[in-house]
């Protein structure tokens, strides 16, 4: 598994919960996003930017990075001319925290992207089509990929699926299994498009139930809900510390086979609590 990188908000990319997409066509929106509660702010040169504003948005991202700021950037997919223009800009930019590649459909697309980025730039591959899902394990194994993400809207449009959990359960599980098989971090779920808090929390927990540990979002309100839902509760932390004290950090007091998974879960809760503190 690759070495965890830090998000601009100092949460390791490997465990980052909320990934907020922010269109950079208006420079003040970039500035405002910097103070958000999102674990990762992704300056979005793809869906958040109208065709006629792509060049202007790209210039704003360059300006932000050139001023010494770090940022993740979602770039356009390889089938568009914007992909190359985005990479030309990022290849010469300062402190690119990471790149999210839209509509990833093959390992070679990731490799071609990585070749044009500064060495070691982490990549989140956004899977948004039937072909991308079929190639998920190859994409997960590509150089630079640290996590997969699920583009639910475009995926549903591609295959004609409904938005309910059952219709998308196979796709979510496929991304989780591919990530685990290639020993990269658990995937990031797609956004939930509602402002109703209960429905939004349900949307978060659908991904969690599938094994996902992060979620794309479009607003700070949603980022806050994601962070709250994916942060270990005080009760979880108390249980974890009691379990570790009982079984020992190295498992020296483990007597039964069922206790080993309990210890691993407790240690994971401790790591997450420390990462989000």
Mean pLDDT of the residues in the chain: 93
Q: What is the tens place of the pLDDT at every residue in 154-199?
A: 999 999 999 999 999 999 999 999 999 999 999 999 999 999 999 9
Gap between the Cα atoms of 143 and 127, Å rounded: 16
Sign of CA dihedral 34, 40, 43, 48: negative
- Nearest partner of 136 among 144, 203, 145, 120, judged by Cα: 145
6 falls in which pLDDT band (50, 70, 90)?
Answer: low
- Residue whose entry in the numeric block shows the structure tokens 């979602």: 74
- pLDDT tens sequence across 119-157: 999 999 999 999 999 999 999 999 999 999 999 999 999
With beta carbons less than 8 A apart as the criterion, state whether 102 and 83 touch.
no
Q: What is the pTM of this model?
A: 0.91
* C-beta separation of 147 from 127 below 8 A: no
- In CATH terms, 18-230 corresponds, of 3.40.640.10, 3.30.1360.120, 3.40.50.620, 3.20.20.60, to 3.20.20.60
Task: Report whether 60 contacts 24 (CB < 8 A).
Answer: yes
What are the extents of the domains in the chain?
18-230, 232-277
- 1 band by pLDDT with thresholds 50, 70 and 90: very low
């Amino acid at each position: 598994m690759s070495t965890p990188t830090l998000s601009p908000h100092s949460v390791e990319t490997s465990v980052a919960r909320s990934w907020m997409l922010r269109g950079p066509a208006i420079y003040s929106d970039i500035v405002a996003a910097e103070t958000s509660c999102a674990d990762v702010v992704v300056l979005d040169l793809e869906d958040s930017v109208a065709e006629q504003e792509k060049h202007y948005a790209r210039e704003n991202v360059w300006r932000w990075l050139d001023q010494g700021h770090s940022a993740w950037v979602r770039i356009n997919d390889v089938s568009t001319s914007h992909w190359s223009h985005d990479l030309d800009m990022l290849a010469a930019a300062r402190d690119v925290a990471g790149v999210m590649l839209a509509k990833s459909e093959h390992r070679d697309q990731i490799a071609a992207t990585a070749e044009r980025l500064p060495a070691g730039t982490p990549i989140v591959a956004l899977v948004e089509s039937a072909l991308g899902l079929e190639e998920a394990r190859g994409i997960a194994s590509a150089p630079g990929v640290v996590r997969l993400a699920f583009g639910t809207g475009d995926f549903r449009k591609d295959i004609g699926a409904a938005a309910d959990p059952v219709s998308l359960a196979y796709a979510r599980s496929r991304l989780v299994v591919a990530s685990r098989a290639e020993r990269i971090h658990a995937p990031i779920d797609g956004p939930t498009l509602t402002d109703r808090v209960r429905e939004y929390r349900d949307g978060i927990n659908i991904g969690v139930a599938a094994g996902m540990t992060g979620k794309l979002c479009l607003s700070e309100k949603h980022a806050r809900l994601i962070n709250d839902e994916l942060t270990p509760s005080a009760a979880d932390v108390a249980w974890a510390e009691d379990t570790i004290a009982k079984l020992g950090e190295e498992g020296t007091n483990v007597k039964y086979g069922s206790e080993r998974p309990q210890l691993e879960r407790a240690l994971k809760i401790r790591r997450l609590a420390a990462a989000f503190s």
